[in-house]
Amino acid sequence: MPQPIISFSHFSFQYRAQKRPTLNDICLDIMPGERILIAGPSGSGKSTLGSCINGLIPSSFPGEVQGTLTVDGVDAPKAGIFALSSHVGTVLQDPDGQFIGLTVGEDIAFALENDCVAQEEMKATTRRVASLVGVESHLEFAPHELSGGQKQRVSLAGVMVDQVKVLLFDEPLANLDPQTGKQAIELIDEIQQKTDTTVIIIEHRLEDVLWRSVDRIVLMDEGRIVADMHPDELLSTDLLARHGIREPLYLTALRYAGVAISSQMRPAQASTLTLSDAQMHQVRDWFLRAPAREEKAEKKPLLEVEGLSFGYTDERRTLQDVSFSIDRGEMVSIVGRNGAGKSTLSKLICGFETPQSGIIRFDGEDIGNQSIRERAAKIGYVMQNPNQMISKTMIADEVALGISRRGYSKEEIRSRVEETLKICGLYPFRNWPISALSFGQKKRVTIASVLVMGTELIILDEPTAGQDFKHYTEIMEFLRSLNDRGVTVAMITHDMHLMLEYTPRALVFSEGRLIADRSAAQVLCDPELVMRAALKETSLFGLANRCGIAPPEALAERFIDADREVRAHGC
């Protein structure tokens, strides 16, 4: 009988700086060649579990260990990170953090150089592994010349040169556009089939990981394993929802239609899902019972972009002849593949860069000659990582920073700060240090710091990146509440769920051009557009086609309305 390649037995771990254990009584066996998805909300202990497997704990993050953990026959807590690196290869969520060499070839060969492998053998191994992950034609490239997906392939190659038996992926989809994320999951599947490596994926984007099959899902919460089940079995329960993980959208739509999900339906993947005629009739009936949508009142343009072009070099244009408008009070997604020009567009709007041609109007006024400071009074920009925007120690001081030099009295500043903190749900914490806040709360602080300026338009770069479903929902519902107050919101995002559920309209970019300006549902139900812009077709598109609902975006819109109704009633 085969022995587990990884075995936790009554394993607990407490960081030296923590008052209580992060992992509690973990009992888990992983067999050779298995593919395991470890899921759970933020703070559940899933990343800590991964750090125990690859030796970061306790080598780099000391603490108290109880119980036993063996990895490929090695006593992991005693072995250390160097000894375990020949057994476990780790691919981090940020590939840039793993690059060592000046070229792709150097980076892949780094571990071989450390082991003093002969030159000819090193080159042969590097070429073989590069071919395995599909970067053999990029060996002379510098890492910064690669796309996000290519960087991840190089990171994977760099850990595979040691012929490790376990590959550990820590949130591999976090920084990838939807299509590249899909390709990453396909690559993991391909590599495992070629090498029979044991694969562990730590990720909360469940539907995206399940694009390819996994053997088991290990669900964690509060440092404990709450479920260890085959995906079909787990998805037929309510455990994911109870522990703050989003199930695939097509399953939520089926539940809204009154269809009971069972493991016999094979619900883990849309391609394997079986539906009876009666169940498809339930879906069609639910769709037809949709209440009529209210006609939206006509609004006036707030931001107008006309013929905008820009390039960081004379040879290459990052944006080419872009024109669109955003109405006052809208909530809009800006989407497209990595490098499509989305972030550059926001820099031009905020004044961080100067366009080579074109006009930007705000509330009918040409703002081309206005300074960054002048634009900041009406256009706020919120970065993906709040820590990169925060410069003060205390919350109230950070929010007051932007208006402290605008001639307001101390009383006016205090009044505006307090009012903004109330809007952002931060008033009870006004005297707290920012270091005591969660990531989501820090995000609110950065939003408050632009709102206090009287900002009418907020542009957010990946507002929910790295957030579990609970914190994702908190941030997005907060942004919706701001939108309901009249603040116009534009979001640069790779999250197709966010785009579909929260923004009625999407601006789609590819290779520096605006290629579509449609409803989010229409965009994600257009296979050709999805492919061109590196997006990911919504699983509701497939469900609509199976149930004979046309056009398919109508089902997506029905789902959005139903989901909004559920959220409004807190169900």
pLDDT digits over 88-115, tens only? 988 876 667 778 888 999 999 988 888 8
State the Cα–Cα distance between residues 405 and 505, nearest whole angstrom: 37
Compute the average pLDDT of residues 314-322: 87
Amino acid, res. 292? A
| Both tokens assigned to 119 | 């030159």
Indicate left, alpha or beta for 134 from its phi (over 0: left) and psi (-120 to 50: alpha). Answer: left
- What is the pLDDT, as a whole number, of residue 148? 66
- What is the pLDDT, as a whole number, of residue 17? 77
Compute the average pLDDT of residues 440-458: 89
CA atoms 64, 66, 70, 74: torsion sign: positive
* Under 8 Å between Cβ of 165 and 196: no
- What is the pLDDT, as a whole number, of residue 571? 47
Band of the pLDDT at 195, cuts 50, 70, 90? Answer: confident
- Who wins on pLDDT, 333 or 314? 333
Phi, psi of 23 (to 5 degrees): -115, 135
Which helix (H) or strand (E) element contains residue 322? Answer: strand 319-327
| Both tokens assigned to 52 | 């125990």
Compute the average pLDDT of residues 351-366: 95
Start-to-end Cα distance in the chain: 47
Percentage, residues of the chain above pLDDT 90? 58
Cα 53 to Cα 230, 237, 324: the distances in Å are 22, 29, 50
Compute the average pLDDT of residues 389-417: 90
For residue range 493-504, list pLDDT tens digits in order: 988 888 998 999
Place of tokens 């730590």: 202
Q: Is the pLDDT of residue 49 over 90?
A: yes
* Under 8 Å between Cβ of 364 and 358: no
Q: Which of 230, 94, 107 is nearest to 170 (CA)?
A: 94
> Is the omega angle on the peptide bond into residue 95 within 30 degrees of 0, that is, cis?
no
Kindly tell me the burial class for residue 92, based on how many C-beta atoms sit within 10 Å of its own C-beta (0-12, 13-18, 19 or more): middle
Instruction: Please enumerate in sequence order all residues whose Cβ is within 8 A of that of 396, keeping only pairs 6 or more positions apart, or say none.
Output: 417, 421, 430, 431
Amino acid, res. 522? Q
Band of the pLDDT at 232, cuts 50, 70, 90? Answer: very high
- What is the pLDDT, as a whole number, of residue 347? 93
Q: Is the pLDDT of residue 219 over 90?
A: yes
pTM: 0.84
For residue range 3-27, list pLDDT tens digits in order: 999 999 999 999 987 889 999 999 9
Count other C-beta atoms under 10 Å from residue 108's C-beta. 29
Compute the average pLDDT of residues 463-474: 78
- What is the pLDDT, as a whole number, of residue 288? 94
Q: Is the pLDDT of residue 388 over 70?
A: yes
Q: Is the pLDDT of residue 528 over 50?
A: yes
For residue range 174-191, list pLDDT tens digits in order: 767 788 788 888 888 988
CA angle in degrees (0–180, nearest 5) for 530-469-90: 80
For residue range 539-569, list pLDDT tens digits in order: 999 999 999 999 999 999 999 999 888 877 7
Q: Is the pLDDT of residue 570 over 70?
A: no
Cα 181 to Cα 113, 177, 461: the distances in Å are 31, 6, 18
| Both tokens assigned to 69 | 């953990």
Cα 473 to Cα 467, 470, 547: the distances in Å are 9, 5, 29
- Give one DSSP letter per residue of 460-507, joined into a string: EESTTTT--HHHHHHHHHHHHHHHHTT-EEEEE-S-HHHHHHH-SEEE
Instruction: Please enumerate in sequence order all residues whose Cβ is within 8 A of that of 425, keeping only pairs 6 or more positions apart, or say none.
Output: 444, 478
